[in-house]
Amino acid sequence: MSKKVMWAFATLCFLTAYPLALIAEAPSDTAEVDRIVRKLDDLYRSQSSYGEVEMEIITPHWQRTLAMKVWTLGLEKTFIRITSPLKEKGVATLRIGNEMWNYLPKVNKVIKIPPSMMMSSWMGSDFTNDDLVKEYSFFEDYTYRLITPEDAKEDLLYLECSPKEGLPIVWGSIIIAVRRADTIPVWQKYYDEKGNLMRIWNFGEVRLFSNRRVPAVMEIIPQAKEGNKTVVRYLTATFDADIEDNVFTLRNLRSR
Amino acid sequence: MIFKIAFRNVFRQRRRTVLTMLTMFGGFTLASISIGWSDGTYSHIIDMFTRNQLGHIQVHSEGYLDRPSLYKVIKDYENVGKNIQSIPDVEAWAPRLYAAGLASVGEKSAGIRIIGLDPESENAATHFDKKIARGTVLNDANTHEALLGKGLARILRTTIGGEVVVVSQAADGSIANDIYAIVGIVDTGDEYSDQTGFYLTLQDAQELFALENRVHEIVVIASNLDRIGPLVGEIEDAVSNAALSVAPWQEFAKSFYNAMRADQEGMWISLFVIILIVAVGVLNTVLMSVLERTREYGVLKALGVRPKQIFGLVLTEVNIMATGSIIIGAGLGILINYLLSIHGISYPQSLTYGGFEFQEMYSEVNARSLIIPAITVIVSASLVATFPAIRASRTAPARAMRAH
Amino acid sequence: MEVNAQTEIIVAEGVSKTYSDHGVPVSAVKEIDLTIRTEDFAAIVGPSGSGKTTFLNIISGLDTVTEGKVWLNGKLLSEMSGRELSDFRRDNIGFIFQAYNLIPVLSVEENIEYIMLLQGVPKSERHSKVNKILAELGLSGFENRMPTQLSGGQQQRVAVARAMVSNPSIILADEPTANLDSKTGAELLDLMRELNKTSGMTFVFSTHDPMVMERAHRLVTLKDGQVVSDEIRE
Residue-by-residue pLDDT tens, chain B, 404 positions: 678 778 887 887 788 888 888 888 988 888 888 888 888 888 777 777 777 778 899 999 999 988 888 999 999 999 999 999 999 989 999 999 999 998 989 888 888 999 999 999 999 898 888 889 899 888 877 789 999 999 999 999 999 999 999 989 899 888 899 999 999 999 887 788 899 999 999 999 999 999 999 999 999 998 887 788 899 999 999 888 888 999 998 888 887 788 777 777 777 777 787 778 778 878 888 888 888 888 888 888 887 788 888 899 889 988 999 999 999 999 999 999 888 888 877 776 666 665 566 667 788 888 888 898 898 889 988 988 898 899 888 887 766 555 44
Whether C173 is covered by a domain: the verdict is: yes
Whether B127 is covered by a domain: the verdict is: yes
Whether residue B272 sits in one domain with residue B223: no
Q: What share of chain B is helix, strand, coil (3-state, %, to 5)?
A: 55, 25, 20
Alpha-carbon separation of residue B25 from A216, B18, C74 (angstroms): 86, 10, 54
Whether residue B69 sits in one domain with residue B210: yes
Whether C148 is covered by a domain: the verdict is: yes
Candidate from B104, B111, B177 with C-beta closest to A112: B104
User: Is the ipTM value over 0.95, yes or no?
Assistant: no
Whether residue B45 sits in one domain with residue B67: no
Whether residue B68 sits in one domain with residue B41: no
Nearest to B121 by CA among B148, B97, B88, B150: B97
Whether residue B136 sits in one domain with residue B13: no
Taking an 8 Å cut-off on Cβ atoms, the answer to whether B109 and A121 are in contact is no
Whether B56 is covered by a domain: the verdict is: no
Q: Determine the Cα–Cα distance for residues B14 and C221; give it in Å rounded to an integer.
A: 47
Whether C8 is covered by a domain: the verdict is: no
| Burial group, residue B64, by CB count within 10 angstroms (0-12, 13-18, 19+) | buried
Whether C34 is covered by a domain: the verdict is: no
Whether B307 is covered by a domain: the verdict is: yes
Among B211, B241, B271, the domain-final residue is: B241
Closest chain B residue to A82 measured between Cα atoms?
B175
Whether B274 is covered by a domain: the verdict is: yes
Give pLDDT tens digits for A153-186: 889 999 999 999 888 788 899 999 999 888 899 9
Whether residue B169 sits in one domain with residue B75: yes
Taking an 8 Å cut-off on Cβ atoms, the answer to whether A88 and B175 are in contact is yes
Whether B248 is covered by a domain: the verdict is: no
Helix (H) or strand (E) holding B323: helix B307-343
Structural domain including C208 reads 39-62+81-232
Structural domain including B230 reads 63-241
Supply the CATH number for residue C209's domain.
Answer: 3.40.50.300
Q: What is the tally of structural domains in chain C?
A: 1
In 3-state terms, what secondary structure has residue C21? strand
Whether C186 is covered by a domain: the verdict is: yes
Complete domains list, chain A, with CATH: 7-254 (2.50.20.10)
Whether C170 is covered by a domain: the verdict is: yes
Which chain B residues have any C-beta within 8 angstroms of a chain C C-beta? 1, 4-5, 8-9, 12, 295-296, 299-307, 309, 397-398, 401-402, 404
Whether residue B224 sits in one domain with residue B89: yes
Whether residue B304 sits in one domain with residue B163: no
Give pLDDT tens digits for C205-223: 888 888 888 888 899 998 8
Whether C114 is covered by a domain: the verdict is: yes
Taking an 8 Å cut-off on Cβ atoms, the answer to whether B171 and A62 are in contact is yes
Nearest to B182 by CA among B143, B131, B140: B143
Whether residue B372 sits in one domain with residue B237: no
Q: What is the tally of structural domains in chain B?
A: 2
Whether residue B98 sits in one domain with residue B26: no
Whether B252 is covered by a domain: the verdict is: no
Q: Residues of C with CB below 8 A from B8's CB?
A: 105-106
Cis peptide before C210 (omega within 30 of 0): no
Whether the CB-CB separation of C70 and C14 falls below 8 Å is answered with no
Q: What are phi and psi for residue A233, nearest 5 degrees? A: -130, 125
Whether B213 is covered by a domain: the verdict is: yes
Closest chain B residue to C52 measured between Cα atoms?
B402
Whether C30 is covered by a domain: the verdict is: no
Whether residue B35 sits in one domain with residue B69: no
Chain C closest-CA separation from residue B302 CA (Å): 7
Who contacts B147 (Cβ-Cβ below 8 Å, separation ≥6)?
Answer: B132, B135, B138, B182, B183, B184, B185, B186, B198, B199
Q: Determine the Cα–Cα distance for residues B149 and B154; give it in Å rounded to an integer.
A: 9
Candidate from A59, A91, A107 with C-beta closest to B178: A107
Whether residue B87 sits in one domain with residue B176: yes
